Chains A and B, each alone.
Chain A
Amino acid sequence: MHDPLLVLGSIGLVCAVTITISVHGLRRSRTTRDFYVASRRVPPWMNASAVAGEYLSAASFLGVAGLIMAYGTHGLWFPVGYTAGFLSLLVFVAAPLRRSGAYTIPDLMSLRFPSKILRRLTAIIVVFTGWLYIVPQLHGAAIALSATTDLPAWLGPAIVILVVLPTVVSGGMRSVTLAQAVQYWFKLSALFIPTVFIVLRLGVGDASFIPDLANAFEVQLVNDTQSSTYRTISLVAALMLGTLGLSHVLVRFYTNPDGGTARRTTVLLLGLLAGFYALPIILGIVARAVLPELGQSASTDTALLQLPSALFSGLTGDLLTALVAGGAFAAFLSTASGLVVSISGVVSQEFFGGTVRGFRVGAILAMVLPIVATFVTTGLALAGAVAMVFTFTASSLAPVVLLAIWWRGLTVTGAVSGMVTGGAMSLAALLAGHLLDDAGLTMAVLQYPALWVVPLVLVVTMLVSALGSQRPPENTDEVLARLHLPESLKQGTTQSS
């Protein structure tokens, strides 16, 4: 074991910086107007860093390397899918969402349809998704702490809760673009510095020490190779569409000045994500060569935390481990706080008439329910758990959001039946897949249902809309014009140059 003081010091520093920035942000961005004024000054690269800071969670920071350890090339498709999610966001949602002026998906839905039921259903799905998404963050905190120190695992989630809950309940961490942008660069350096050290060590170290890197690509290290082609394809589909339903990411697009900058932000974001994911991929491959025995065990998510001390002895190893642990906690904190803020915003708006009390109740619920779930589901790999969340949003929200933005024929009944079908089918399939103890194609089809559920939901939604007696709302064309026409056209002649 390492010196726990170094790791704890690094985690403590991350927590202290997070609290400081959010309290500072609380004082600075107190009013809505500040938020709007700031929104016109935030350049796309800053916005892109903020989205990346919010998006890169436990699953990306620790989980990608862990899956590469456990499943080899199948794990390699996770970062591809996570990044590709933002291509579909760019292509289908970014500019229309910004032009709609909606903060969240329920807002977008109620702009399109004057239906209370649809709005409430969307809100429930968004809140449920957020809860599911917090679970892996807490779980990751437990793993990170117990792998690097002798402390009990429950302390990790406890730290995350103790930092996130008070700051969110007191009103901080609200749309603090700078704080999230800093988090991205911190997470990047927390992996970049160890990668540089490790690559240099492998490149110029004494020959007897260098492990055979060719081993890293051996299939023997892989836990399970059956039916991996279907799994990979369905996984990429789920990750590509699931991003469209992540409320904590979509909120960020509001700080773009207009649709055009929302697009530029997303392209920059693709670059930032690609740059980040290169690091866990490199480290995961190195870990396969250096720690082959870990690949067979159940705890591959700790690969990144064990790698530095496997290659460096003494203080260097301890310092690098502390850096990785600190970066991991930055990932848990930023994603968890973003999720709690967006969940409690929706809970307050939907069920408490938008009051501050509702916001606080929402925040507490947003942390308490996932804690319970964390203790129930301890065995899941981090990135695997997040992939399940993506599958759920890809099936329930994404098809309806896509049709709402791009198809004028969508009706309320169509949207509701699509959401219900997608949500119910994907949940049932995921549950059945994990209860079933059979490693064949059936299990893969049930555990990765996106490939068949998403087309099904599209067909159901379109059929119900087209064949049902209900008509699309009268103002559909006006709303769609608002979503799709560029700002320069809408402002017409007021623009002067």
Chain B
Amino acid sequence: MTRRRQPEDDIPEDDLPADDDFVLDLIREPEAPQEVPESIRAMRARRVEVHMPTGAPSVKEVLLNPAEPSGSVQSSRRMLRRLMRAQLRLGVTLISWFFGLVVVVNIAFHFSPALASFTIASVPLEWLIPAGVFIPLLIFLGWFYVRRATANEQALEPQPTQEVHQ
């Protein structure tokens, strides 16, 4: 927002009189209404026809994208490896726990039909566990993963080259 207004710094935006002064309105610089470019109408007026990208961006284009400078990244190969390892360990652990549970439950039901047909509120466990336990468990695991993964990423934040941010 602040960046967009910089070229027209000479117009003091806060001092503009209210719209009721019609005469002044005619004399004023014509750029004045564009001072609020965030309105949808203003954005539509400035709309430019752009075509869909015809091909995938090249590696160079992506890596040199000025919106996301990778300068600070170059020096931190070790940091990257640490982060990847932490995230991968977290992901593999969660997925193997979940899949392991699926395997254990299925094998238990296979070898013990009594357990499978044990009923809680007249619903056999064989039916209750997949529908009533595993699906809610997935939501919980997802929530837990996002918390941990975000924490892993935030643990990197106060690293070198971030002094202004702090």
* One of A134-142, A262-270, A415-423 contacting the partner: A262-270
A79 contacts B by Cβ under 8 Å: yes
Give which listed residue, A107, A285, A479, A491, contacts B56 with CB less than 8 A. A107
Chain B residue with Cβ nearest A264? B146
Contact indicator A270/B72 (Cβ below 8 Å): no
Would A274 and B146 be within 8 Å (CB), given that A217-B123, A475-B63, A485-B83 are in contact? no
Would A491 and B69 be within 8 Å (CB), given that A270-B138, A271-B139, A277-B135 are in contact? yes
Per-residue contact bits, chain B 100-118, to A (CB 8 Å; 1 contact, 0 not): 0011001101100000000
Contact indicator B59/A111 (Cβ below 8 Å): yes
Contact indicator B84/A406 (Cβ below 8 Å): yes
Contact indicator B72/A73 (Cβ below 8 Å): no
Per-residue contact bits, chain A 476-497, to B (CB 8 Å; 1 contact, 0 not): 0111111011111111111100
A194 contacts B by Cβ under 8 Å: no
CA distance A328 to B55 in the complex (A): 35
In the complex, number of A-B residue pairs with CB atoms less than 8 Å apart: 190
Contact indicator B142/A87 (Cβ below 8 Å): yes
CA distance A378 to B112 in the complex (A): 37
Contacts of B47 on A, CB cut-off 8 Å?
31, 33-34
Instruction: State how many angstroms separate the Cβ of A135 from the closest Cβ of chain B.
Output: 27
Contacts of A271 on B, CB cut-off 8 Å?
139
A379 contacts B by Cβ under 8 Å: no
| Interface core residue of B70, B103, B165 (most chain A CB under 10 Å) | B165
Would A111 and B62 be within 8 Å (CB), given that A90-B142, A229-B110, A489-B72 are in contact? yes
Contacts of B12 on A, CB cut-off 8 Å?
none
Would A229 and B107 be within 8 Å (CB), given that A274-B136, A477-B77 are in contact? yes
Contacts of A30 on B, CB cut-off 8 Å?
49
Contacts of A104 on B, CB cut-off 8 Å?
56
A232 contacts B by Cβ under 8 Å: yes
Interface residues of B in 147-165 (CB under 8 A from A): 149-150, 153, 156-157, 161-162, 164-165
Contacts of A149 on B, CB cut-off 8 Å?
none
Would A490 and B70 be within 8 Å (CB), given that A76-B127, A110-B56, A480-B80 are in contact? yes
Q: How extensive is the interface on chain A, given as a class?
A: 35 or more
Contacts of A92 on B, CB cut-off 8 Å?
91, 95
B51 contacts A by Cβ under 8 Å: yes
Instruction: State how many angstroms separate the Cβ of B128 from the closest Cβ of chain A.
Output: 10
Instruction: State how many angstroms separate the Cβ of A246 from the closest Cβ of chain B.
Output: 17
Give which listed residue, A103, A232, A355, A406, contacts B106 with CB less than 8 A. A232
Contact indicator A481/B73 (Cβ below 8 Å): yes
* Size of B's binding interface in residues, CB under 8 A: 69
Would A478 and B63 be within 8 Å (CB), given that A91-B94, A349-B54 are in contact? yes
Chain B residue with Cβ nearest A236? B102
Per-residue contact bits, chain B 60-80, to A (CB 8 Å; 1 contact, 0 not): 001101011111111011001
Contact indicator A31/B127 (Cβ below 8 Å): no
Contacts of A103 on B, CB cut-off 8 Å?
56
Would A76 and B102 be within 8 Å (CB), given that A229-B110, A492-B71 are in contact? no
| Interface core residue of B59, B109, B161 (most chain A CB under 10 Å) | B59
CA distance A32 to B49 in the complex (A): 8
Would A87 and B95 be within 8 Å (CB), given that A107-B56, A270-B138, A477-B80 are in contact? yes
Contacts of A90 on B, CB cut-off 8 Å?
142, 145-146
Contact indicator A88/B95 (Cβ below 8 Å): yes
Per-residue contact bits, chain B 127-138, to A (CB 8 Å; 1 contact, 0 not): 100110011101
Instruction: State how many angstroms separate the Cβ of A117 from the closest Cβ of chain B.
Output: 15
CA distance A90 to B146 in the complex (A): 8
Instruction: State how many angstroms separate the Cβ of A480 from the closest Cβ of chain B.
Output: 7
Contacts of B76 on A, CB cut-off 8 Å?
481
7 contacts between A and B (CB under 8 A): A33-B50, A214-B122, A281-B131, A406-B88, A486-B153, A486-B156, A489-B72
Q: Which 7 A-B pairs have the closest CB atoms?
A: A354-B54, A91-B91, A107-B56, A229-B110, A267-B142, A493-B164, A486-B153
Other contacts beyond A80-B135, A479-B59, A489-B72: 12, CB < 8 A: A32-B52, A79-B131, A87-B141, A91-B94, A111-B57, A228-B110, A267-B142, A267-B146, A354-B55, A477-B77, A485-B73, A490-B70
- A residues bordering B, Cβ < 8 Å? 30-34, 37, 73, 76-77, 79-80, 83-84, 86-88, 90-92, 95, 100-104, 106-107, 110-111, 114, 213-214, 217, 228-229, 232-233, 236-237, 240, 260, 263-264, 266-267, 270-271, 274, 277-278, 281, 285, 349, 353-355, 406, 475, 477-482, 484-495
- B residues bordering A, Cβ < 8 Å? 43, 47-57, 59, 62-63, 65, 67-74, 76-77, 80, 83-84, 87-88, 90-91, 94-95, 98-99, 102-103, 106-107, 109-110, 122-124, 126-127, 130-131, 134-136, 138-139, 141-143, 145-146, 149-150, 153, 156-157, 161-162, 164-165
